[in-house]
Structure 1
Amino acid sequence: MSAAIPDPDRLRDVIVVGGGLAGLTAAYRLRERDVLVLEAGARAGGRVCSVLHDGVPLNLGAHMFSGPGTPVGDLVAELGLTRTPIRGALMAMSLGGKLVQGRPELWPLRLPMSLPARASFARMGLRLRRGAARMARAMADGTDATFEDHRTLAEFIGPLHPQVSVMLAALTERSGGDPASMSAGHALRSFTNVWSGQAPGANLTGGSQRMIDALVDAIGPARVLTQAPVTHVQNMGDHVCVDLAGTRLRARRCIVCTPAPITRRILSGLPEACTAALGQIAYGPFLSVALGVRGAAPWRGAYALATPGAPFSVMFDQGTGLDTGGLSSLMLFRGAAGAAELAALTDDTLTQLAQRQLQGLFPGAALRIEATQIARWPHGAPVALPGRAALQAPLQMPLGRIALAGDYFHSPNMAAAILSADRAVALTRAEPEPLASGPDARWSRAS
């Protein structure tokens, strides 16, 4: 435990289970009350994580922060933090020893590909561009949850040349899944966010961890308990019981912000439809290797470099807007099934793979890896499978004095985590609705 076990005789206002971004945001909004955050891991923050090396942030998780007028940007400003604009192209690709940037539609003309592969890539790019434009309209009018929810991305695009299939998989792994399983809408929302004029083209100055540290400081470090795994949460009429390491804590309300499979395991007495919906939320693993690299930076100018066919499918240049004194901050990333395979390797082996990949991408460059940080995220991101929209209503059923939050409520990003926390806080401030019952129970108007 990071602190003494809390007093079991104390009736708190709110207990927040899960200290990721959703849980910390909820506790921050409720900081004027008697609130306690319980986080099973050794640190709070979840996938919002970075470390400093020689004053340069090495990011291991979420790293792109949107600006004012967005949930993330507004919280950044409220916490007194600043953003550093990303310089260079948001997307680039390396294939067969050639690196291309600029408009993705022109890549098939510049990458070393056969004529059939070029034609396949062009067809894929056209489908994605048109789909992303339609998704942008759906996001504007609030119908994006059901847009292209009935089929997979692979079905939406159609047959692809094998070489192009590998490229598409490298691009979609950032969303945690593969084209044959994720819904087309899930993937198109991600492409829309990157291609739109509202793309979150900035990093958090000082590293992503600064947001977590600021939230914990505002809540009060003594009220954020790490290494505190919760085993059971249950409505008890006029309060909620939370079991922790053999101790039963009590609160008037509880907000559960754990990944959906954990939420389903620790909550009892849920409506059958809600339990079933939680069980249908799929997750893809992530694996991140953050590197502090000395030497020339031949990758400079490309923030996200897709590397299909390599051990790590994408490389992020995290220091494009910083004066890092010659130290580059890179993050090599793998998602979905590839991440699960890499996660079984030792840290030394992963570091060697990362070094070989850099040497292969930039032969002849004099590079020295000075620092390495590795993160394995088994629940990297929720992946919307076809039919995901039908789960939303049962996920938002009234649960008495308990409310749920997490990025599985909408999209695998920081904005979704913050918005779900705000919804849970609104439910917590309102008079608790009776626990929904029956498979057809309606969800809360507060949703």
Structure 2
Amino acid sequence: MFNSIESIIEEYTHSKEEVLWCGHPVTSKPVRTITPILLLLLMVAAAFFLYAVYAVIFEIYLGGQDLLAEKIAENRNRIIFGIGGGVFFLAFRAVLARTMKDERTEQVYYAVTTRRAFIVDHASKKVTKEWGAGDIQKVSMRKRGESSGDIWFVEEAQEMGKLEGGGDRTPLIWQGFINTEDVKGAFEALQTWKKRQREPSTFENETMKFRITLPNDWSAFSLMIDKEHRDNLFFSVICAELIGEDRLLKTVKLGGEWNTLILTKRIYQEMLSDYGRLHYLTILIESALRPELPYGGVSRFRNREKVDLNAFIKDRDRFMKTLRKTIMICEFDNLSELDKETEKYKARVNAAAAKVELNAMESYEMNGSLDVMGHGYKFKQIYSYQILDSEVCLHLRYTFFCTDAEKEKFFKENNGVLNTIVKSVRALGTVPEKEKTEEKPKEKEKPKK
């Protein structure tokens, strides 16, 4: 039973992800033609071989040892056909396996949804490439046939041999849906998707008890991070970019249970000598629920550790704790502390953070920069918290940062995106800002004469 392309693509989509278009590359006709012919020949060869085995066993061996030479002579043709069939079967089995492998590699499908564009290798049951809205650049089309052609919409680094001095040559190459059968349908679907990106989308996180509105022109990846690693994400993202493994953190998925969002948007790309480099804006949105209720306000923390490089080299944990206290607006490992005098909990906030009014939550903002291995990072953080139903406290930490050359320019141009996201956040059960209606003050009754 053969599945339709639509049903195959549905296996790889996430919740609330609508498929706008799906298709596949132009299939190689010689492979389609030769496969059934080889299968037929192998079936005939197997039949001859089994027929010869039957003759040897039932007519020659079980028939008795008398007149063995005459029996072999009588069944000579069947034996020859059987041996020939066996040789043919063994010789062409490898050819068929190689042909079937070629055909399995053609189980490649393209898809465009409301969240991403991706390529599926159905033979290996995996998505081989995917791009979110934050990756998509100019969409271009080149026709090859009446309805087939190429769709390019993103530049990516691709290995193109070795350099003389060592290392890989990785120039930027345009990529997308190559030699697709329905090139016009793919082009129109990508254009429809880009139009939808103009309007933001609101998502509810029932696990963390809040809703948030996200810009649709950014790629979004949701994940659930263990409690022990909450303060390591920012540094992990930076390290992944430095070693070129940032695609692992740019998977496109938004659904299921999550406490963390990674939003990315490509700002530009450049060719440096023999390798290409992509530059992204990144927004981390981290959330947590804690039973400690900070009715006592806030408590300021600062790094009081004396910077001693030799001591840091010997004690990596000490170095990380000092780094977090220096550049992080709050620590998820230690979000609140008990005031011994008032016996009330206080939210812990970096001393360098300033209070801001962005939504119904208590919020603080802090700007900073970081230089690592010759790469500069400029970032902005916002920390918000709100007590929910006198049972738990919702904590949210937002980190917006950009990298490398012209970081100041892009930082300023996109600085308002983070504020817009923070302003949209509401605890579940509260009324969204746009749904609120201001009651008109009642007119005072005139005193009776």
For normalisation by structure 1, the TM-score amounts to 0.21
Larger radius of gyration: 2
Higher share in strand: 2
Larger RCO (CA within 8 A; separation ≥ 6): 1
Scaled by the length of structure 2, the TM-score of the pair is: 0.21
